[in-house]
Structure 1
C-alpha cells in the first residue's frame, strides 16, 4: 500500500459500479472520491484527484461535455473513460477530447488497475520526460535518436522514427488515428498512410509483426505503445 494514497475520483451514476470500484481500488491503496453526476464531479475537482474514472452516461451532464469541462480546469490529470459496449465513436471522441484511456463495460478489476497504472506512468513521463524509454527489449533514446531491440540497432526512416517518437511520448495512452495524422502529417491525410508506417515500424521492432507486443492496435480507434517498464 502507498504511504500516501493516490486519490481517485470515480464519476458514475450506478451505485453498484461505484461500490465495485470503491472496494476494488481501496484494497490496492487508492483513496476514493465518488460523484454520482457531473455537478458533484466538478465540485470534487477541488479535492485535487490524481486520477479520474469517468462514466460517459451521466444523468445531468453529457459525458463528453463533462470531459471537456474537466480538461478546461485540469490539463494533466489522467482520465480513464468507461463506455458502453460497441460505442466506438464515443470512445474516439473521448480520446480526442483528452481522455487517456477507456474501458468497455463490463470490465475486469485487474484490467482497470493495469490501465490506471499505465495512465499514471504516462503522466509522470510527460512531466519529466526521460531521455531513454524502455519497454521490454525495446529502448528508444530520444536525445541521440537511437532505437534498439535487445542489442540490435534498428534503422528507421525519418517518418518511422517520428511515428515511434510520438508513440513513446504518449506510451500507455491510446492515440486516435486523427491525433496521429495531425501530429505526423495533417488531418486531411488518408489514414492508409498511417497504417503503412505502422506496418513498416512493426516489421522492424516486433519479433512477430502479426502479433505485436509493442505497437498495439485499438481496433477502429488508433494505436497504443506498450507502457514503459
Structure 2
C-alpha cells in the first residue's frame, strides 16, 4: 500500500505542491493513506506523523506488506539531522520503503552500493535542512536584538511602531462588572466566564482599569 506524508510549518505556507504529488500517486484520503502536519520540522512529535508510524508498524507486524511511504522533499519529513536518520531507520525497520521524491533514483547492479548512495544523499540533505533552520533562527535572534525599546520597555520596529500584537482595548462593560465585584455581587471567576478570558488576561484588564480610574 502507498502512503504519503506532507508537512508545512505554518498556515501561511501552501500544501498545494505536496498534495498534487499525492494525488498523482492515487493517495487522497487523509488519515488513511495521506497524513498531514502543520508544525515545525525540528520536532518529530507531530500528531499526523505519529499516527502514520503507528499504522505502518501495526500493518507490518506479521511481515512486510511492501508498503511505500512517499515524501515530496526530505525537509518536509524533518529538519533535525539526528532525528531524520533515527526515524528513517525506525520506519524502514518495519519493512517500509521510504521514497523521498527530491532524491534522484540511482540504480546500480549492487544493492549495497544503491543503499550507500541513497544514504549519502539523505545525510547531505538532512545536514543542509538543519543548517538552514539554524541560520534562520540566528537571523531572527539578531533582528530581535537589534530592535530598540521605548520608555515602557517594549520593542520598537524600524517603522517606529511597537512590535507584536496590538493590545486589546478594555471591554466597554468592564467598569460595570468591576463595580459589581467591589460590592461583592460578582466573583472574579464569574466575570472571567462572562468575558471569556483567562485568569492572566482578566488581571491585566483589572489593573488597566484601576490605573485608569486612579489617574
Report the structure, 1 or 2, having the larger helix content.
2
Specify the TM-score bucket, using the shorter chain as the normaliser: 0.3 to 0.5
Q: What TM-score comes out, normalization by structure 1 length?
A: 0.31
